[in-house]
Amino acid sequence: MKILLDLLQQMALASVPAVGFGMVFNVPMRALGYCAAGGALGRGLRFLLVEGAHIPVEWSTLLAAATVSLLGVLVAQRLRAHPKVFTVAAMIPMIPGVPLFKTLIAIVQIQQKGPSDELISTAIASGLQAFFVVAALAVGLAMPGLLFYRRKPVV
């Protein structure tokens, strides 16, 4: 089953950056494992939704981030730490870094070489993709607060 192998590869590859950026954010040692698990789960879920169910990437990202965040609440209450401490690092493998830089580079090229249809469409399309995916990640992470913890703190 090819999709299963791809899924495992995606999950394994995603857990490394989650831990790596967790270390840049100085996540406490005990929570680094949760970063890895969250990164693998989020990226794996998004891969399944995009490749398996053909859901657009922004909506898949939203669902994946919300799932990680909801599970993160359970962990956070046991760990006595806010879920954002480790869930943001878990979102890093889904951050649209390449579209973000592509947008900025295309904008500089437009300034230098003059506007062409190709450059303008690259700038707009990657910029919008970067914005929507980041928004989906942030709203997905906020989901427990928006749905269940409306009047009380998570931890």
Binding mask 86-105 for other proteins (x = CB under 8 A): x-xx-xxx-x-xx-xxx-xx
Q: How far is the CB of 86 from other proteins (least distance, A)?
A: 7
**Residue-by-residue DSSP string for the chain:** -HHHHHHHHHHHHHHHHHHHHHHHTT--HHHHHHHHHHHHHHHHHHHIIIIIS---HHHHHHHHHHHHHHHHHHHHHHHTS-THHHHHHHHGGGS-HHHHHHHHHHHHHHHHH---HHHHHHHHHHHHHHHHHHHHHHHHHHHHHHHT-SSS---
Residue from the set 19, 50, 55, 70 that interacts with other proteins by CB under 8 A? 19
Binding site for other proteins (CB under 8 A): 10, 13-14, 16-17, 19-28, 31, 80-82, 84-86, 88-89, 91-93, 95, 97-98, 100-102, 104-106, 108-109, 119, 122, 134-135, 137-139, 141-142, 145-146, 151-153, 155
